[in-house]
Chain A
Amino acid sequence: MLENAWLIPLFPLLSFLLLIFLGNQWREKSSFVGIGFTGISFVLSVIVLFVQMTNGSGGAEAAWLTIGSIEFRVGVVVNPLNALMLVIVSLVSFLVHIYSKSYMHDDARITTFYSYLGLFTFAMLALVISPNLLQLYIFWELVGVGSFLLIGFYFYKEEAKAAAKKAFIMTRIGDIGLLIGMILLFWQVGSLEFNEIFTAVRDGEVAEGLLTLIAILIFIGAVGKSGQFPLHTWLPDAMEGPTPVSALIHAATMVAAGVYLVATLFPVFESSPAAMTVVAVTGGFTAIFAATIGLVQKDIKRVLAYSTVSQLGYMMMALGAAGYVAGVFHLMTHAFFKALLFLAAGSVIHAVHTQNIEKMGGLWKKMRITGPVFLIGTLAISGVPLFSGFFSKDEILLATWYDGRYGLFTLGLIAAFFTAFYMFRLFFMVFTGDSRSTVTEVQESPRSMTYPMITLAVLAIFSGYINTPWFGTFLGDWLIGDSEFLPFEHHEGPVWIMLAASLIAFAGIGLAYLIYYKKSLQRDFLTSHMPNTYTLVFNKYFIDEFYQYTIEYGARAVSYLGSFIEKYIVEVIVAAVTGVVKSVGSLGSRLQSGQVQTYGAVAFVGLAILVFLVVWTGGYL
């Protein structure tokens, strides 16, 4: 069975081809094609997962291209990590396909939408079963194309066009790093097969300095794809795409590909302590950096986007702190609860036709399903005990603690506090209080939208129980299981870490409750910095002032710093590179005057220079 795992990505590909070539007139019917084919993929993925669990890993490979003495191979490989990814990707994709049926109902280009979804799902599934770096890279790029097409789906909106372009360019920058790293690795090892790379690295065939460089370059690719600092800026902008796309690509699957890449190449990273530190620090910094920005956003999807960046940072931090299981575990739980949050957000947007949370409110009573599932997602991401996010976040904190990275451990705790705070800020502003919406007739979304959300809500609660300190670490044992390259490790953590994490989550929730539910503070407090705010704030609870002076200003400072770095450093570098390219181009085209004399002169001068150089350098040897 495992050698036939290539069938799994094939079905979404079929869906893509069918829809793009034949589906022009199918309109809404095309959703059934998409749902059907991804459904088959999902069923097959589950079967593959069970076969893997009972019979162990497997796969199949064949020669594809022989260049000189170098052979490139194609194939599939199924190991615990891949099998898990297959199920996550195909499940979320399947649910998003169902959800989109109603969500995209009115769009004239629904067929195109479904065909793009198929293309993306194909690429993502193929990516996770690649047995070598080249194949992975190919699908890595294809996933980027799918993302580009879907972000720019509303191409008549200038913002969407710009966002698609930005996402494409930013991730390209990362991809160049990945490509160079890959080439260096290939140069050193002579193969791009994962197993051969790992063997070579284990046997010390690659010099340590170079290995660090390679690992960091590959990590740059992951930084681009997973929206880590400083290449994160495309991800919030990518929210211009349709919301189901945000759930599928920019929350659950593609952005997790960077984490997956680091996890897959974990043996390479592990051999280089310096690279591990880079990964951990980048991840930790991104986690807290994005969380602070999330505090002040007004757009429901942007809050979720920054929270995604922050959570991906968490995963990277875990991997960098040698917490392989923790990183992958959080990848899984995050995929479920974040997809849930995005779909629920989509349901809200669908109902009130705005993304501005200041124009929402009081939706709890009107949306009897969306409200509770959103709450479940919020509880899970905040790390409230007994929800999935609690267990995976705890595992990450444990990993950083055991790796001796106490600074990052503290950062992780603070970020957890922020996360709980801004997520509940979001929840209270959207679902509680008085309605500030201009839409009076708010209706719950149809069943094809609520059922996927309910499914994800169940997973957001229970998926954490496969790896708990109480009922056994099934996931961890299985992931490490039969691999010869992954070190077995499990930490029996001190209980206080779990307690501290829970307390911090509750503290964040409590603060949000005081501000946004009890309304002991005016809502526009956070966003206004008028002098009269101070008088309003004065005589309020002490906690408000505490918030004002510490968190609010701190967060503002960090987010200003962030946007400063974004504007003046990252974008200046981008502008410089494009500027140089463009000026070379315009210089060249100015020389292209249409005057035939110029052309002859250029050829002649070129020749003269060459002859001069030959005589000058060669003549007197």
Chain B
Amino acid sequence: MDMDTLLSYEWSIMAPEFTILLVATALSLIDLFVSKNVDRKLFGWFGIAGIAIALIFSFSQIGHEPAMILANTYRLDAFSLSFKILLLTGSLLVLLMGVSFEARGELTYRGEFYYLLLTGLLGAMMMASSADLITLFVGLELLTISSYILAGTRKKSRYSNEAAMKYVINGGISTAFTLFGMSYIYGLTGSTNLADISREISNITPANVQVLLSIAFILTFVGLAFKISTVPFQMWAPDVYQGAPTPVTAFLSVVSKTAGFIIIIRVLISIFPFTQGFEENTSLLHSLMIFLSVLAGMTMIVGNTIALKQRNIKRLFAYSSIAHAGYLLVPFVAFSELMFESMWFYLVAYLLMNIGAFAIIQVMTEHSDSEDVSIFAGLYYRRPWIAIMMTVFLLSLAGIPGTAGFIGKLNIFIGALFSDPSRYILAVVMIGTTVISYFYYFGIMAQMFMRPAGSAAQVRLPVGVTITMVFCAAGTITLGLFPGLVLEFFQTQFNFAEMFY
């Protein structure tokens, strides 16, 4: 590669990534040279500004023709852009939370927290844009390794250390699975480039190759299931979510999970729809969907039923987030033309309601010594506004009409019912488990409205958390009442046919 080709690339399409890279690098250097007495919270605001600029770049790229640079390994298309906007918005809100995170002095290395979050975000963005297994994997690892450290940033907390350790071990296993699966794909097609793979793979016909490809599919999916915490790779989530600092938990449950869905869609949809399936005139993806549908159903059941037994609010939300990953798999399994729309909208709704809820959990756990759900007791009579906003988030998570969560579920549900073939069993499981989820979500609401106030401790609201909460609550309700606002934007601005090569 000489200088000319390097300069001839349209680098501007990577502007958001460069912005994040620049800010992360600058912060890590400044952190080294600046005196310990300087308040590291400034870093947070710096990072927030960086993400905001990256967001502006991303929005300005809407409508851009699909383009590839770096020898066809990096791709800008509707898929990458629409999901990148989600990643950026999610990280922005998490950073806003993080700036207000006190953790009673346990967060001694605050600077690290900010720039590791940014490198994690950079990895996620790379995953969204990659068109090559190698860059995908690098992005995945960048995100994952940053997350390992983030989970352990409360260095003096035993739980935080335990969480980081468990996360590393499980992450290692999952990476092995993923790589193993990818190696099969490479072995069968001789390329790591997704465009080449999708072209090559349709030419492979021998029947025994299908079995190898199926194994590759399963291995890759199970490995990546770690990132989205679905069955059989969901068990790390409660321990890690509980131990990690709350903003990191929010990051893992929203940004990292979104990235996981991105890579799953990108890899599986680039490769498997073009392969002959087990039956005539079906694709391999189609033939293997039954496995995913069983996993999706199990994820919904496991997440929602075990959540019933939880008293620790962060563990409860870990199971809730497992359940939501199950819902999110449904449109993928249904694989109708509504798939992207449903998944994207649900991720938007999930981002708003989950980060909002974690913002409140952060405030509440900081002001009491426990993480038991009883810390919410009588909240309505102490701080009515916080209680009302938490109610909005819980209602949305439960999928009650009037909130974004309901529209998201409705979208998924209709997609599953009207897809071909109809995934009605999955739709039924989804409804059934949603009903189960009412019990634990409403349990928290019962604490807030129907229990006498437990502690008289004053709840102080730092500015960052307040912005996050209000933004998320407003978004949750607006999207619940006027879903057309976002859906129409999505339908007119993003053309997902661009995704295929």
| Contact surface of A with B, Cβ cutoff 8 Å | 20-21, 24, 63-68, 70, 137-138, 141-142, 149, 152, 155-156, 161, 172, 176, 179, 183, 187, 581-582, 584-586, 588-589, 591-592, 594, 596, 598-600, 602-607, 610-611, 613-615, 618-619, 621
Q: How many residues of B contact A (CB 8 A)?
A: 65
A65 — which chain B residues lie within 8 A by C-beta?
407, 410, 483-484, 487
Whether, in the assembled complex, B273 has its beta carbon less than 8 Å from a beta carbon of chain A, the answer is no
CB-contact partner of A592 in B211, B231, B306, B384, under 8 A: B306
CB-contact partner of A142 in B165, B215, B401, under 8 A: B401
A266 to B483 alpha-carbon distance, docked (Å): 32
Chain-A contact segment, one of B29-37, B97-105, B191-199, B235-243: B235-243
State whether B239 touches A594 (Cβ < 8 A): yes
Chain-A contact segment, one of B14-22, B44-52, B244-252, B413-421: B413-421
CB-contact partner of B302 in A588, A604, A605, under 8 A: A588
A138 — which chain B residues lie within 8 A by C-beta?
401-402
CB-contact partner of B418 in A68, A152, A605, A618, under 8 A: A68
CB-contact partner of A599 in B170, B341, B427, under 8 A: B170
Sample (25) of A-B pairs whose CB atoms are under 8 Å apart: A67-B410, A68-B336, A68-B414, A68-B418, A137-B401, A176-B431, A183-B427, A581-B436, A585-B309, A588-B309, A592-B306, A594-B239, A596-B166, A599-B166, A600-B173, A603-B177, A603-B222, A603-B235, A606-B233, A610-B291, A611-B215, A614-B291, A615-B214, A619-B208, A621-B279
Known pairs A65-B483, A585-B308, A596-B169 / 17 extra A-B pairs, C-beta < 8 Å: A21-B388, A24-B384, A65-B407, A67-B414, A70-B418, A138-B401, A155-B449, A155-B451, A172-B438, A183-B427, A582-B309, A599-B166, A602-B232, A603-B222, A610-B222, A613-B291, A615-B215
**Chain B 399-435 interface 0/1 with A at a Cβ cutoff of 8 Å (1 = within):** 0111000010011001101100000000100010001
B450 — which chain A residues lie within 8 A by C-beta?
152, 155, 161
Q: Please, which residue of chain B has its CB at the minimum distance from the CB of A65?
A: B483
A165 to B310 alpha-carbon distance, docked (Å): 19
B238 — which chain A residues lie within 8 A by C-beta?
592
State whether A618 touches B219 (Cβ < 8 A): no
| Contact surface of B with A, Cβ cutoff 8 Å | 165-166, 169-170, 173-174, 177, 207-208, 210-211, 214-215, 218-219, 222, 226, 231-233, 235-236, 238-239, 278-279, 287-288, 291, 301-302, 305-310, 336-338, 341, 384, 388, 400-402, 407, 410-411, 414-415, 417-418, 427, 431, 435-436, 438, 449-452, 483-484, 487
CB-contact partner of A606 in B231, B301, B308, B418, under 8 A: B231
State whether A67 touches B232 (Cβ < 8 A): no
A613 — which chain B residues lie within 8 A by C-beta?
291
Q: Please, which residue of chain A has its CB at the minimum distance from the CB of B482?
A: A64
What distance in Å separates the Cβ of A472 from its nearest Cβ neighbour in chain B? 42
A581 — which chain B residues lie within 8 A by C-beta?
305, 308, 436
State whether B435 touches A67 (Cβ < 8 A): no
- Identify the interface centre among A172, A610, A615: most chain B CB within 10 Å of its CB: A610
CB-contact partner of B235 in A598, A607, A618, A621, under 8 A: A598
State whether B214 touches A618 (Cβ < 8 A): yes
B214 — which chain A residues lie within 8 A by C-beta?
614-615, 618
What distance in Å separates the Cβ of B384 from its nearest Cβ neighbour in chain A? 7
Q: Please, which residue of chain B has its CB at the minimum distance from the CB of A582?
A: B308
A63 to B488 alpha-carbon distance, docked (Å): 12
What distance in Å separates the Cβ of A240 from its nearest Cβ neighbour in chain B? 13
A293 to B288 alpha-carbon distance, docked (Å): 57
- Identify the interface centre among B174, B288, B308: most chain A CB within 10 Å of its CB: B308
What distance in Å separates the Cβ of B482 from its nearest Cβ neighbour in chain A? 8
Which 4 A-B pairs rank lowest in CB-CB distance, beginning with the nearest?
A606-B232, A138-B401, A599-B235, A585-B305
State whether A606 touches B222 (Cβ < 8 A): yes
A24 — which chain B residues lie within 8 A by C-beta?
384
A596 — which chain B residues lie within 8 A by C-beta?
165-166, 169-170, 236
A142 — which chain B residues lie within 8 A by C-beta?
401-402
- Identify the interface centre among B218, B238, B449, B487: most chain A CB within 10 Å of its CB: B218
A141 to B281 alpha-carbon distance, docked (Å): 44
Given known A594-B239, A606-B222, contact A589–B309 (CB-CB < 8 A): yes
A149 — which chain B residues lie within 8 A by C-beta?
449
What distance in Å separates the Cβ of A140 from its nearest Cβ neighbour in chain B? 10
Given known A67-B414, A603-B222, contact A141–B400 (CB-CB < 8 A): yes
A142 to B415 alpha-carbon distance, docked (Å): 25
B427 — which chain A residues lie within 8 A by C-beta?
183
State whether A603 touches B288 (Cβ < 8 A): no
Given known A588-B302, A603-B174, contact A611–B218 (CB-CB < 8 A): yes
CB-contact partner of A607 in B218, B401, B410, under 8 A: B218
